[in-house]
Each structure stands twice: as structure tokens, then as C-alpha cells.
Amino acid sequence: MTATGATGLGDAPGGSTRSRRQRYERRQRLRSVGIAAASTVLVVTAVVVFVPKLDGWESVRRSFFDADAFRNVFPELLAPFWYDVQIFLWCAPLIVALGLLVAIARNLRTPALYPVRLAAIVFTDVVRGIPVILWITLLGFGVPGMLQTREWYGGFIIWGSVALVVTYSAYTAEVFRSGIESVHESQRAASRSLGLTSAQTMRTVVLPQAMRRVVPPSMNLLVSLQKDVALISILGPVEALRRAGIENARTFNFTPYVAAAVLFLCVSIPLTRITDHLLARDRRRMSATAVT
């Protein structure tokens, strides 16, 4: 919303003395809202009325949307789902940290540190070239199998999480790197001309700007991670997906999976909305010309 609060020439705010432009815009707004509402009602009615009349809808409903099964299984899924959330919560900061390190490593220009840069390039290429589920199998089963220990560091979940951290940090690193490169050279010049070192320039001038720019694409990755946590179920822990699978095997009904899906949506949708909100606020704060 732009500064529409400003009133026209000699115009009292509010009341019936709106300017011609304001009256026009108001009419347009009402019209758009009306059309949107009518069309939505039409489509929703069509879906609600006609879909149940389709042949086979009854079996779809029984298999996927069984209300009783949903009510029974939903509370059962909460604790396993909390497990998913926990894995997500400890993985996310590690991914951001490792991704940032790799991104900075790829931007190193010091010849002596070339091996570090090379390692970062190989890391992103190799890691991104292999499916997530393969990493989870490889590290999640492989490393505990090799270590053969009852200590905490021999756990399946630890190594499953490591697999997630490794794969996602490679993707995140690429996003961060593009953000770093998008900060204009003149910003570095201004910073260096003040006498800041290249490390100080990176930390105080480049990264803060780059980070703001990469928030939307990184949020995509975060939402994606929040779902891929469920892949850890192949390692055996009873998290939401596995718990739903157990119910499914017991009742031959797929509603538990739908219930698990609803749980995942409950986290991922607010996550996206919160980011959008934070970004918009940041933009408004820094820019006089923000159109949101």
C-alpha cells in the first residue's frame, strides 16, 4: 500500500467529500472484491456439490478421508511429529552455519587458501549430485554399522541428521554464494576505501546485504527440509511418517498418512507466511519506495 492516506486538493479526509479519483478507486476495489468472492463461492460450491457425486468418490473418501480414523490417529501422531520437528530444529541452524562456511570458502581469493576453495567446490558438486535418500541410507545405516557402538555418536538418528545437514548445506551454500555475488562491487569499494580489511568488508558490509537477499530462496530450502526430515523414517525411528505407516498397515486405511500430511502443512505454511511478513517489514524499514 502506498501513501493513499494523503487526501486530494482541499479534501477533508473520510466523509462524503472523496475526490473523483478516490471514488473511482473505491468503486474499482469493491468491484474486484465482489468478483473474487463470487467466483470463489462458485468454484467451492461446484467442488463440494459435484465431487461427491462422482463415481468412486465413496471409496476415495473411505481410503483417505475417513473421519473416525482421522480422529483416532491424529493424537497418536502428535508425539512422533514432535520428533520430526526436533530433528528439523537442530538440523536447520547447523545447515545455515555450514552452508555459510562453504559459501565463504568458495569466495576465497587468497592463493594459499586455494585448497579450501577447491574442497568447497568439490563438496557442493558431489553432495548435490547424490539423492538425499541415498545420503541418509549411506550415513544413517553405514556409519553406525561401521562404528558398532552403543555410545550416543553411534545412533541412527545422529547420522541421519548428519546426512540431512550435509546435503542441505550444499544447496544452501549455493544460494548464499549467489547472494554474496549479488552485492555490487561498489559496496566493497566503499568499504575498502574506509580502510576495512576484506574480512571486515565481508562480515559487516557484504554478508548482511547478501543474507537479506537470500532469505526467500533459503526459506524454500527450509520448508523442503522440514518435509525431508520424514525420510529419516527409513532408519527406523518412529516419527510421524513411520507412525502413520504403522497405523496404515494395521487398518489398511490411508487416512493416517493424510493426517501426517496435515501436520506437516501446519508447520510449513506458517513458516512461509512468517518469512514473507518479516521480509516485507525489512523492506519497508529500509526503503521509502517499497510497494508491498
Give the contacts of 119 (CB within 8 A, at least 6 positions apart): 105
Quick check: 164 binds other proteins (CB under 8 A)? no
Binder among 2, 16, 59, 186 for other proteins (CB under 8 A)? 186
CB 63 within 8 A of CB 253: yes
Tell whether residue 112 is a contact of other proteins (CB under 8 A). no
Q: What span, in angstroms and rounded, lies between the C-alpha atoms of 240 and 86?
A: 12
Q: At closest approach, how far in Å is the CB of 188 from other proteins?
A: 9
* CA dihedral angle for residue 254, residue 270, residue 132, residue 258, rounded to 10 degrees: 0
Instruction: Count other C-beta atoms under 10 Å from residue 242's C-beta.
Output: 20
Of 28, 32, 45, 197, the residue at the interface with other proteins (CB under 8 A) is 197
Beta carbon of residue 100, minimum distance to other proteins (angstroms, whole number): 17
Query: Which range of residues in 65-73, 103-111, 144-152, 197-205 is near other proteins by CB under 8 A?
Result: 197-205
Interaction between residue 111 and other proteins (CB under 8 A) = no
Phi, psi for residue 54 in degrees, rounded to 5: -65, 150
Choices 43-51, 195-203, 221-229, 249-257 (CB under 8 A): range interacting with other proteins: 195-203
CA angle 218, 219, 224 (to 5 degrees): 100
Q: Is 209 in the site for other proteins (CB under 8 A)?
A: yes
Q: How many residues form the binding site for other proteins (CB under 8 A)?
A: 22
Scanning 17-25, 67-75, 105-113, 182-190 for contacts with other proteins by CB under 8 A, the matching segment is 182-190
Q: DSSP assignment of 143-195, as one string?
A: HHHHH---SGGG-HHHHHHHHHHHHHHHHHHHHHHHHHHHS-HHHHHHHHHTT
3 state DSSP class of 84: helix
Minimal distance in Å, beta carbon 191 to other proteins?
8
Please report whether residue 212 would count as binding other proteins according to CB under 8 A: yes
DSSP string, 213-251: HHHHHHHHHHHHHHHHGGGGGGGS---HHHHHHHHHHHH
Contact by Cβ (8 Å): 105, 119 = yes
User: DSSP class of residue 111?
Assistant: G
Among 1, 193, 249, 252, binds other proteins (CB under 8 A): 193
Q: What are phi and psi of 97, to 5 degrees?
A: -65, -50
Shortest spacing between CB 189 and other proteins, in angstroms = 6
| Footprint on residues 261-290 left by other proteins (CB under 8 A) | 285-289
Q: Is 42 in the site for other proteins (CB under 8 A)?
A: no
Residue 58 or 282: the one with the smaller Cβ distance to other proteins is 282
* Member of 191, 218, 233, 253 binding other proteins (CB under 8 A): 191
**CB contact at 8 A, 75 and 69:** no
Q: Does 215 bind other proteins (CB under 8 A)?
A: no
Residue 40 binding other proteins, by CB under 8 A: no
Contact 116, 122 (CB under 8 A): no
Q: How far is the CB of 213 from other proteins (least distance, A)?
A: 10
Residues near other proteins (CB under 8 A):
186-187, 189-197, 200, 204-205, 208-209, 212, 285-289
